[in-house]
Chains A and B, each alone.
Chain A
Amino acid sequence: MKKVVVFGATSAIIQAVARLLAAEGASFFLVARNPAKLASVAADLRVRGATAVHEADLDLNDVNSHQALIADAFAQLAGVDLVLVAHGLLGAQARAEVEFAHASELIFTNYLSIVSLLTHLIPRLEAQQRGQVAVLSSVAGDRGRASNYVYGSAKGALTLYLSGLRARLSRTPINILTLKLGFVDTPMTAGCKKGPLWATPAALAPRILAAIAARRDQCYLPGFWAIIMTIVKLLPEPIFKKLRF
């Protein structure tokens, strides 16, 4: 049975993924900030068939705690097969444009905190010579859009970091999966206007598991975003900069 560590366990997308893993009897080490929410997610996974569920309530912005946290996860689960990194902060673009503290918070949560986690995590995976890391990145990291480039720059940096890490680990059995998600209808995006491009967590979850099972390097979810982002990336900057989306 899979031993799974989840950072950001109260994320709607990752809850849907964890439910499917629980039904297969996985064991979990769940990390999230809010203990009451975490407890309800843990209870749900137990009922749905999880073999064991460990909970750690902690703010992942507290990078000083990461080393002990990861040691605890490996100790509790006695080895780790899969690490899901799902915590994130959408923030408010307009605020981030004028308030450095907010911009820095977005970059810290969406990028630096994950770099810290991976720095402590990867040597342990190398030591056990197995393991997969799946990280939720975003199509927003492929090109800087006027409407959310601060968040996008953090996701873009994350995607680059994972790409380099994957290259470094290419001769090891460790798999790094970058999940470039499009628009997903979750509490994080509750304030956004929804349209036909939006997907639900329940619909994405089996595709995320399929990408993990296939040990892919990266994938767009839903798949049609690969086409959209290819076009978006090919647009010449003089044209792209005038687009408002």
Chain B
Amino acid sequence: MKEELTTAIASWGRYPQVAQHSQRLAWSCEPLPRPGSALLPFGLGRSYGDSCLNDQHTLLLTRGLDRFLAFDRKNGLLRCESGVSLAEILALVVPHGWFLPVTPGTKFVTVGGAVANDVHGKNHHRAGSFGNQLRAFELLRSDGRRLRCAAEENADYFTATIGGLGLTGLITWVELQLKPIVSPLIEHEVIRFSGLAEFFALSLQSAESHEYTVAWIDCLASGNALGRGHFIRGNHATTGAPLRPSKPPWLTIPCNLPRRTLNPLTLHAFNRAYYWRQPRKSKHRRSHYDPFFYPLDAVNHWNRLYGRPGFFQYQCVVPFAEGPGPIQEILAAIAAARQGSFLAVLKTFGSIPSRGLLSFPRPGVTLALDFPNRGAATLNLFTRLDALVGQAGGALYPAKDARMSPAIFRLSFPRLEQFIPFLDPSFSSTFWRRVNP
């Protein structure tokens, strides 16, 4: 049944707002619907910008494809439909001593979305990205073909679909290799650092000793304090505790907050307090994996903090060869514009090659920040940041983007021409049409 054009479905950043049709999928064995407009799979809508939107066209809502198909408890091999969320996987596999081999900063994404965006986690330097954990998946094309894709089977569709932004067809099921754990706890350590040079030294030093590394940056600090933050590193605990999965969120933001809730004053105060909360001397802690990996999942709809205009996220990666220079300049530009927010994350990507033709992760340093939507002021800042990223030979992340130019998209993805032949002719997205005008 075809539904009317509505603006009811938004991406996580709640910008842009578009009018689109939607159809719910309930069975992975059924053929694709033929609504007469372009299709785009939509899972939990955790992409920030417009890569999960399909203005004037049709979203295929995949959350109804939520069945597990096989779980080899001995070898940690899991096959499930593409609408299953990472939270549901954890709830199933943690009690049996297994864990996601790679997880992004929220567990409320579908496994299909994790493939389509080739998401990464805090262990990229050890494990690569989500696509590196896949054994196989099935791709349903609009011509009705069902392609089993793996490294050695339909390898071209395999590499096009990993990071392929849902544009190569519908992923119906995914098979992935889990990793064994003996405890749900993470032993971690938070180290305060006062500048980027220290961050680079800590990253280098921790790559061997720690599976998970990430840094929070005070993106509003300037001058001498520029680039200060906390370096967080951790490993799975090797001694037991009951293998309990996570608890449901404890707080819900019920509605959009006034757009001025997050203003320079409150954000400065938050960032400063957060920075000084961590004493000079590092602290060792043991905590459940849930607050370690998914601190924001504790607050339902935290995106409503940014109010009706929504917010942007800006995530770039800059090659190691450029040293701390470009990141320093980017942080200086953000601090000077007084635009950043409280979520600024710095992380090094390792050298394991991403499998996808359009995969974002590549060796270098990646910086991700939230920005309240202040219209032209925010967009102008991004244009200045793009220039810095472009000069450094870096790239932007489509999953976080609502505004990148066709030019920087091309610079970011040199294998774009190889990808184009694998686009499904019936699939498209607002993002795709924007960067390929």
Contact = CB atoms under 8 A, between A and B. Distances in A.
Interface in B62-99: 64, 67-71, 80-81, 92
A47 B68 contact: yes
A37 B24 CA distance: 16
A187 interface: yes
Contacts of B92: 47-48
B28 interface: yes
B270 interface: no
Contacts, number: 34
A40 B70 contact: no
B321 interface: no
Interface residues of A, number: 13
B69 A190 contact: no
A187 B24 contact: yes
B24 A43 contact: no
Question: Among the interface residues A36, A41, A44, which one has the most CB atoms of the partner chain B within 10 A?
Answer: A44
B79 to A, nearest CB: 9
Contact of A47 (B26, B27, B69): B69
Centre residue among B68, B80, B81 by max chain A CB count within 10 A? B68
Majority secondary structure, A binding face: helix
Given A187-B64, A190-B1, A191-B1, A44 B26 contact: no
Contacts of A187: 24, 26, 64
B135 to A, nearest CB: 16
A40 B1 contact: no
Nearest to B72: A47
B67 A41 contact: yes
B144 to A, nearest CB: 15
A41 B69 CA distance: 8
A44 B67 contact: yes
A103 to B, nearest CB: 22
Interface centre among A37, A43, A47 (most CB of B within 10 A): A47
B27 A40 contact: yes
B201 to A, nearest CB: 45
A113 B64 CA distance: 28
A187 B65 CA distance: 12
A70 interface: no
B29 interface: yes
Contact of B69 (A36, A37, A44): A44
Contacts of B69: 40, 43-44, 47
Nearest to A41: B67
A226 interface: no
A12 interface: yes
Interface string A183-197: 000010011000000
B72 to A, nearest CB: 10
Contacts of A48: 68, 92
Interface of B: 1, 24, 26-29, 64, 67-71, 80-81, 92
Can you list the 4 inter-chain pairs with the closest CB atoms, starting with the nearest? Answer: A47-B68, A44-B67, A36-B29, A191-B1
